[in-house]
Amino acid sequence: MTDIAAETISPHEAGCAPTASFLFTSPHRSIRAFGVNEKIRLSASGAAHADSFLQTAVRDAIERASLLGQENPIVVGAIPFDVRQPSNLFVPKRYDVISRDSLVPEERDCFCAPKVVAIRSIPEKEGFKDAVMRAIECFRAGKMSKAVLSRILEIELAERVDATAILNALLKQNPNGYHFQAPLHDGAILLGASPELLIRKDGDSIRSNPLAGSAKRVADPQQDDFTSRKLLESSKDNFEHKLVVEEIHEALRPVCKRLTTPNAPALMNTATMWHLSTMITGELANDDTSALQLACRLHPTPAVCGYPTPESRSLIDNLEPFDRGLFSGIVGWCDAKGDGEWAIAIRCGTVNDRTIRLFAGAGIVEASDPDAEWAETGAKLGTMLRAFGIDAGACASCL
C-alpha cells in the first residue's frame, strides 16, 4: 500500500525531480503539491458551515502549517460523491502555483497501447438500461424529475500503469478544463480531465460552470456542428440543464451580494463531447466564506446526483450496484485566505497497479431513452480510454 505521506507517489529514477503528490490544473491557477503535513479524513457532512468538524479541522491544520513557516498553506484533495464517507484531503508540505502550459508535454511520451487482459462494465448494458427504466418509472410517478446513473468500466491490463504518462496524455488531448491527479488512501491514484467547474473563489468573486445535457462529437465538421445545434435546441437536455442551474443559483443566492445567471445555456465542447453550459458569476456578501465551504454548500449538484437531491440520492443508492467513492465527488484546493477551486470529479478513473476503473454517468429524465443513455456513458468513457491508449475496439461490447 502506498502512503501518501511519502514525498512521491510514483517511483522515480535517481536524479529526477520528485513527482507531485497532487496536481490540479485550471485556466485560472494550477497547483502542484508535494509531501503531506497532515491528512484530513473527516466527512464533509454539514461542511458548508464554518464551524463544522471538517472546516474546523482544515483551519487548524492550515494554522499548524503556517506555524511551521509555510506561507499561505493550502488544503488539497478530493471529497467523495457521498459526503458521509471520509474525505481524502491533506495539507501538503509545500506547493507551487504553475502555468498549465508548462505541464503540457511537447510530444506524447513513447507510449505503447497497453494489453487489455480483462474488461467489464458494472453494471452491464442490460442492467444499466433496466436501472434507467426504473428511474423513468419514478419520474412518471411524480416522485422526482432527474437522477444521474453511472457505471464503471473495470479493466485489467497486462502491465502496471504509469499514472504520470496518463496524465501527460490527458493534458495533451484535452488542453482545456481541469486536470487532476490525487493519491488515495488505498494506494490508488485518481486521475482525470474534468470539463466541469463546481466553484472558483478569488477574493470576493466567485464562478460556477455547471454542465448538463450532452452529445457525442463526430469527426465530420458539418455533422459535428449539426449535433451541437440539435443539443442546444433539445427540450430534454435543456430541462436536465435547467434543474442544475436553478439549484446552484438558489444555493449561492444567500451568500452573494450579486449573482448573475444567464437564462439560456451556451455550448461547450471537449475533445469527445458537446455539453450545455452556463457560466454563473457572483460577488460574495462576505469574502470570509471559503472556496471549500462554497463547494460543500453546492455538492452534490443535480449534474451528478439529480433533482430533488435527497430523493435522487436514495434512488442512486438503490439502483447503482457499486460505491461511487470519489467518482462524481469534487477535487481541488483551498488556501489559507479561503481562495480556491473545486472541479467535479468526472471523466476520470483510478489506477491501482494493473487495474483501472473508469467512470461515466448520464442525467436521466422522463424523456430519456435507455439505449441513448448507455451510449452517452460510453462516449464519456472515451476521454479516459484515449488517454490510456486503449482502442475502443478492445472494449466494444462495453461501450
With binding defined as CB under 6 A, does residue 361 bind ligand ISJ?
A: yes
To the query of whether residue 146 is one of the catalytic residues in this protein, the response is: yes
Largest CA distance in the chain: 63
Residue of 38, 196, 240, 376 marked catalytic? 196
Could you please report the per-residue DSSP string of 175-239?
A: -SSEEEEEE-TTS-EEEEEE--EEEEEETTEEEEE-EEEEEE--SSHHHHHHHHHHHHH-HHHHH
Does 275 engage in binding with ligand ISJ (CB under 6 A)? yes
Four-residue CA torsion sign, 387, 389, 391, 394: negative
Active-site hit among 93, 125, 146, 242: 146
How far is the C-alpha of 321 from the C-alpha of 324, rounded, in Å? 9
Binding mask 290-319 for ligand ISJ (x = CB under 6 A): -------------xx---------------
Q: Could you tell me the sign of the dihedral formed by the alpha carbons of 304, 308, 309, 311, in that order?
A: negative
* CB-based contact 169:103 (threshold 8 Å): no
Residues 6+ apart with CB under 8 A from 72: 335, 336, 337
Identify residues 329-348 at the interface with ligand ISJ (CB under 6 A): 346-347
Smallest distance, Å, CB 102 to ligand ISJ? 27
92 with 368: CB under 8 angstroms? Answer: no
Chain residues 139-158 in contact with ligand ISJ, contact rule CB under 6 A: 148
Work out how close the CB of 273 gets to ligand ISJ at its nearest, in angstroms, rounded to a whole number.
Answer: 8
Interacting residue with ligand ISJ among 169, 212, 384, 385 (CB under 6 A): 212
Binding residues for ligand ISJ restricted to 115-144, rule: CB under 6 A: none
* The C-alpha cell that represents 56 in the structure block: 474546523
Amino acid letter, residue 100: R
The region of 28-36, 105-113, 117-125, 212-220 touching ligand ISJ under the rule CB under 6 A is 212-220
Choice from 82, 154, 196, 341 touching ligand ISJ (CB under 6 A):
196
Closer to ligand ISJ by Cβ: residue 95 or 128: 128
Report, as residue numbers or ranges, the catalytic residues: 146, 196
Write out the residues near ligand ISJ by the rule CB under 6 A. Answer: 148, 196, 211-214, 275, 303-304, 328, 346-347, 360-363, 380
